[in-house]
């Protein structure tokens, strides 16, 4: 009789190799899901870092700009959250100003009410 160490029988590789085919399939599926999840986490963290760097540069340039309209014309279409906020704010301010000055027709006022839910 051979002298077998009990810890060798409990190693993860030995347990996997001696498991049934269903158990092996489940373990391989769990391993694949884990790798896929970590790939998603890693790619999203890289994407968030890139967005944060771009947002910081955008905000730094915004505060350094002397002309907000010129800055918006040049950089307002960037795919950044801060660019979307700037565009929405400028659009709302333009509509408010245009309404105060009587520059909007009835159709434009109706479209604004339909879009925003608030009267001008």
* 48 and 69 together in one domain: no
68 contacts: CB under 8 Å, gap ≥ 6: 62, 90
Q: Does residue 59 belong to any structural domain of this protein?
A: no
- What's the domain count of the chain? 2
42 and 72 part of one domain:
no
Task: Give yes or no for residue 107 having a pLDDT over 90.
Answer: no
Phi, psi of 118 (to 5 degrees): -120, 145
Task: State residue 68's pLDDT score.
Answer: 85
Whole-structure pTM value:
0.60
| Domain membership of residue 10 as a residue range | 1-52
Instruction: Flag whether pLDDT at 9 surpasses 80.
Output: no
Across the chain, what does the average pLDDT equal? 83
The CB density around residue 90, as the number of other CB atoms within 10 Å, is 14
Same domain, 34 and 70: no
For residues 21 and 55, give the distance between their C-alpha atoms in angstroms, rounded to a whole number: 50
The two tokens of residue 49 are: 């870092």
pLDDT value of residue 25: 96
């Amino acid at each position: 009789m051979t002298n077998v160490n009990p810890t060798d029988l409990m190693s993860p590789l030995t347990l996997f190799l001696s498991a049934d085919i269903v158990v092996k399939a489940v373990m391989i599926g769990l391993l694949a899901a884990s790798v896929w999840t970590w790939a998603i986490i890693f790619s999203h963290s890289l994407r968030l870092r890139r967005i944060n760097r771009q947002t910081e540069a955008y905000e730094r340039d915004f505060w350094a700009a002397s002309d907000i309209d010129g800055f918006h014309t040049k950089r307002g279409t960037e795919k950044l959250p801060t660019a979307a906020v700037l565009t929405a704010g400028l659009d709302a301010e333009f509509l408010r100003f245009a309404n105060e000055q009587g520059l909007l027709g009835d159709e434009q006022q109706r479209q604004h009410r339909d879009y925003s839910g608030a009267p001008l």
